[in-house]
């Protein structure tokens, strides 16, 4: 290494100490395809054995790397093969109970290994329902209620196959029932996905796709605080300068993610998968994507100009991040979850409406995320919100998601506390007019290729 | 070989360099490079140190330097060399 540069060394230190730079998630993807069995208890036994075998050292290794590098790593997680693909033989024996036992087994393994979330209670229904999809989809609310760490997802649409409107309606029903069973909180572990990435480290939508190796490590970076500080320092710089500095910052953040992922994978003896370039906020003050947008020049996130600001941010983050890792994956976008981002939660009391949020998701993935709506919102309205987001995903070819919380007993402008890193948010107003389209059956066809 | 970047930040006063270097010397940690500056009225020193002959791990060295830093009224941060290199060297 050449001579030390004091300013550069200070920058690395300041990023971690004062700007909340961290690696948001290290997620170990594990294939469970070899665990399927017609005997439900055999299935659960194999799943647990495999997870303890492959992921047993995950937490220890990640903490070791964290200490060694001096960079905080916030979450350790596991993503598994979508349960719909392995549960069918056992479900033929035991019906829905087989899926619920599998949910318990995953949750128990996650607890034993010491990870905070395990993702993959997933139904892949964008082009129709298979046997395994049916049992997973029908058991999501109960599976979430009886577990603590399990994350569920339903892939409802894909640009190549279209939008499964029946699946969207059933997912909306699952959202509603989950909210009722868990006083809203379980909805943080349930997401409807479009163009779902098969290697994202971020929950609740993480699962381990069938094209992936037996096990691999994916890393999610963070760093809204760092980007915000950079923008603040630039003052009234022109757009190109802003873009350039954000890009450089994204490069540095991503390189740290790449370093962490490489090291963890090497020590676990598994492949290093991808770095998800997403800027992931936390409720902590200053670690907010909304504040970055406001720093670019908005009185409140959600006012006119918000979509343009987000577009500038996203393009710069991607260009900088892509130069820092040869394998970007997952969403690689800015997350704009309402409850998890203190600035977004503040904006939801000011300029930000659900409709403007939807418009903003047209230029960044992830979609309507961690949005709290009134508990009495009808299923059709929730389905309509999911369908709109699916249409944006299909039309733009980007992954999008809906993670929405119809909080029981809550009304617009009430506060809803999710707890911890999930944050809190005001209840957002939804339209009183509801879609009637879900009385129809079937799917919206795939989009015409551009 | 394990190398680390030791950064010391605080209000300038006598004894900072001596205090930090003493810990390094006590544990047989070699200083390969050292730069210092006063940035925005704050004293800042950066050292590149080599731990290959050291009698402590990086983790233990970090703990001890953080403790000594507190006594001296400065902030001491120890990062693996690779973090600095990843961010600033292409």
Which of A39-53, A338-352, B28-42, B59-73 has the highest average model confidence (pLDDT)? A39-53
- Give the number of domains in chain B: 1
Q: Nearest C-alpha of chain B: how many angstroms from A31?
A: 31
A162 within some domain: yes
User: Is the model more confident about A310 or about A4?
Assistant: A310
Q: Is A256's CB within 8 Å of B86's CB?
A: yes
Mean of pLDDT over chain A:
93
Cβ neighbourhood burial of A356 (10 Å; 0-12, 13-18, 19+): middle
Domain-located, residue A7: no
pLDDT in tens, A266-320: 999 999 999 988 888 888 888 899 999 999 999 999 999 999 999 999 999 999 9
Could you tell me the two tokens for A104?
A: 């318990």
Sorting pLDDT into bands at 50, 70 and 90, what band is A15?
A: confident
Least confident of A14-28, A62-76, A389-403: A14-28
* Average pLDDT estimate for A156-168: 97
Interface test with B, best of A1, A221, A247 (most B CBs within 10 A): A1
| pLDDT tens digit sequence for A80-106 | 999 999 999 999 999 999 999 999 999
Would residue A60 count as lying in a domain? Answer: yes
Q: Are B74 and B46 in contact (CB under 8 A)?
A: no
Three-state DSSP string of chain B: CCEEEEEEEECCCCCHHHHHHHHHHHCCCEEEEEEEEEECCEEEEEEEEECCCCCCCHHHHHHHHHHHHHHHCEEEEEEEHHHHHHHHCC
Chain A touched by B83 (CB under 8 Å):
yes
Residue A132 above 90 pLDDT? yes
Between chains, do A12 and B46 touch, taking CB under 8 Å as contact? no
Q: Tell me: the pLDDT tens digits for A111-131?
A: 999 999 999 999 999 999 999
Say yes or no to pLDDT of B66 above 80.
Answer: yes
Residue with tokens 């080599």: B50
For A189-221, write each residue's pLDDT tens digit. 999 999 999 999 989 999 999 999 999 999 998
Please say whether the dihedral angle defined by the alpha carbons of residues A428, A342, A227 and A276, taken in this order, is positive or negative: negative
Tally of domains within chain A:
1
Q: For residue B87, what is the nearest residue in chain A, using CA coordinates? A: A252
Residues A138, A130 contacting (CB under 8 angstroms) = no
pLDDT range class, residue A359, cuts 50, 70, 90: very high
Chain A CB within 8 Å of residue B38 CB: no
Of A331-335, A432-436, B13-17, B34-38, least confident by mean pLDDT is A331-335
Least confident of A114-128, A151-165, A256-270: A256-270
Among A113, A183, A184, which Cα is nearest to A149's? A113
Find the domain containing B12 and state its range. 3-88
Contact between residue A443 and residue A168 where contact means Cβ atoms under 8 Å apart: no
Return the residue of B nearest to A72 by Cα: B79
Question: Pick from A5, A6, A13: which is nearest to B79 by CB?
Answer: A13
Q: Is A158 on the interface with B (CB under 8 A)?
A: no
The secondary structure element, H or E, covering residue A142 is helix A131-146
Taking a C-beta distance cutoff of 8 angstroms, is the pair A201, A77 a contact? yes
Residue with tokens 């992936």: A212
At residue B89, the pLDDT reads 75
pLDDT of A336 reads 86
Q: Which residue spans within A31-109 are E strands per DSSP?
A: 73-80
Chosen from B8, B47, B83 to mutate, greatest number of chain A CBs within 10 A: B83
Residue A255 falls within a domain, yes or no? Answer: no
A-chain residues near B89 (CB < 8 A)? 1-2
Nearest to B78 among A6, A10, A70 (CB): A70
Residue A440, φ and ψ in degrees, nearest 5? -75, 160
pLDDT of amino acid A284 = 84
Chain A's closest residue to B80, CA to CA, is A69
Chain B interface includes A68 (CB < 8 A): yes
Instruction: Examine residue A23 and say whether the peptide bond preceding it is cis (omega within 30 degrees of 0).
Output: no
Nearest to B79 among A7, A12, A252 (CB): A12
Task: Band the pLDDT of A342: cuts 50, 70, 90.
Answer: very high
**∠ CA(A394), CA(A400), CA(A406), 5° rounding?**
120
Q: Is B33 on the interface with A (CB under 8 A)?
A: yes
Q: What is the pLDDT of residue A2?
A: 59
Tell me the average pLDDT across A170-196: 97
Residue A450: predicted pLDDT: 67
Task: Considering only residues B40 and A144, tell me which one the structure prediction assigns the higher pLDDT.
Answer: A144
- As a whole number of Å, the CA-based R_g of chain B is 13
Q: Is A63 on the interface with B (CB under 8 A)?
A: no
- Provide ipTM, 2 decimals: 0.78
Q: CA A422, A426, A431 angle in degrees (round to 5)?
A: 120
Q: How far apart are CA A402 and CA A367, in angstroms?
A: 6
What is the rounded average pLDDT of the residues A410-422?
89
CA–CA min distance B30, chain A (Å): 15
* pLDDT mean over B39-43: 74
Per the structure, the complete domain to which residue A117 belongs is given by 31-72+79-194
Partner B contacted by A3 (CB < 8 A): yes
Verify whether the Cβ–Cβ distance A12 to B44 is below 8 Å: no
pLDDT at A433 over 70: yes
Q: Which residue of B has its CA nearest to A8?
A: B88
Residue A157 pLDDT class (50, 70, 90 cuts): very high
Q: Packing angle between helix A239-268 and helix A6-18, nearest 10 degrees? A: 80
CATH number for B76: 3.30.70.260
Task: Determine, for residues A70 and B46 on separate chains, whether the beta-carbon distance falls below 8 Å.
Answer: no
A67 in reach of chain B (CB within 8 A):
yes
Residue ranges in A217-341 assigned as alpha helix (H):
224-234, 239-268, 289-297, 306-324
A2 touches chain B (CB under 8 A): yes
> What is the per-residue pLDDT for A324?
85
A358 confidence band (pLDDT: 50, 70, 90): very high
What CATH number did the domain enclosing A185 receive?
Answer: 3.20.70.20
């Amino acid at each position: 290494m050449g001579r030390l540069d004091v300013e550069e060394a200070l920058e690395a230190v300041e990023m971690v100490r004062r700007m909340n730079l961290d690696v948001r998630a290290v997620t170990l993807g594990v294939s469970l395809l070899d665990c399927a069995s017609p005997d439900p208890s055999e299935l659960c036994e194999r799943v647990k054995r495999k997870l303890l075998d492959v992921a047993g050292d995950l937490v220890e290794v990640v903490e070791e790397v964290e200490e060694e590098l001096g960079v905080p790593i916030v979450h350790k997680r596991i993503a598994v093969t979508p349960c719909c693909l392995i549960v069918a033989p056992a479900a033929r024996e035991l019906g829905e109970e087989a899926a619920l036992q599998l949910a318990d087994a995953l949750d128990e393994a996650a607890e034993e290994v010491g990870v905070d979330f395990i993702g993959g209670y997933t139904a892949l229904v964008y082009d129709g329902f298979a046997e395994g999809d049916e049992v997973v989809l029908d058991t999501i609310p109960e599976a979430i209620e009886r577990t603590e760490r399990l994350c569920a997802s339903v892939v409802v649409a894909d640009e190549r196959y279209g939008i499964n409107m029946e699946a969207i309606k059933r997912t909306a029903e699952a959202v509603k029932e989950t909210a009722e069973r868990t006083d809203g909180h379980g909805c943080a572990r349930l997401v409807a996905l479009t163009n779902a990435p098969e290697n994202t480290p971020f929950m609740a939508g993480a699962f381990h796709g069938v094209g992936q190796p037996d096990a691999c490590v994916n890393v999610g970076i963070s760093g809204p605080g760092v980007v915000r500080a950079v923008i603040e320092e630039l003052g009234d710089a022109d757009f190109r300068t802003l873009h350039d500095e954000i890009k450089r910052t994204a490069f540095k953040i991503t390189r740290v993610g790449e370093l962490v992922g490489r090291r963890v994978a090497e020590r676990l003896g598994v492949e290093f998968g991808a770095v998800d370039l997403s800027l992931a906020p936390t409720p902590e003050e200053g670690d907010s994507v909304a504040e970055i947008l406001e720093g670019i020049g908005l009185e409140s996130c959600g006012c006119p100009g918000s979509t343009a600001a987000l577009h500038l941010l996203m393009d710069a983050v991607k260009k900088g991040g892509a130069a820092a890792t040869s394998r970007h994956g997952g969403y690689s976008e800015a997350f704009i979850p309402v409850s998890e981002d203190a600035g977004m939660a503040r904006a939801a009391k000011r300029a930000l409406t659900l409709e403007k949020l939807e418009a903003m998701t047209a230029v960044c993935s992830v979609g309507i995320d961690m949005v709290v709506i009134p508990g009495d919102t009808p299923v059709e309205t929730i389905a309509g919100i999911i369908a709109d987001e699916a249409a944006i995903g299909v039309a733009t070819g980007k992954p999008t998601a809906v993670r929405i919380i119809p909080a029981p007993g809550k009304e617009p402008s009430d506060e809803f506390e999710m707890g911890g890193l999930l944050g809190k948010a005001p209840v957002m107003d939804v339209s009183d007019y509801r879609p009637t389209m879900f009385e129809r059956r079937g799917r919206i066809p795939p989009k015409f290729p551009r | 070989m394990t190398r680390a970047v030791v950064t010391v930040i605080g209000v300038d006063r006598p004894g900072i360099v001596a205090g930090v270097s003493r810990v390094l010397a006590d544990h047989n940690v070699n200083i390969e490079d050292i730069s210092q500056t006063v940035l925005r009225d704050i004293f800042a020193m950066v050292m590149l140190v080599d731990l290959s002959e050291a009698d402590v791990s990086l983790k233990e060295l970090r703990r001890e330097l953080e403790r000594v830093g507190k006594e001296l009224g400065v902030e001491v941060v120890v990062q693996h060399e690779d973090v600095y290199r990843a961010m600033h060297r292409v």
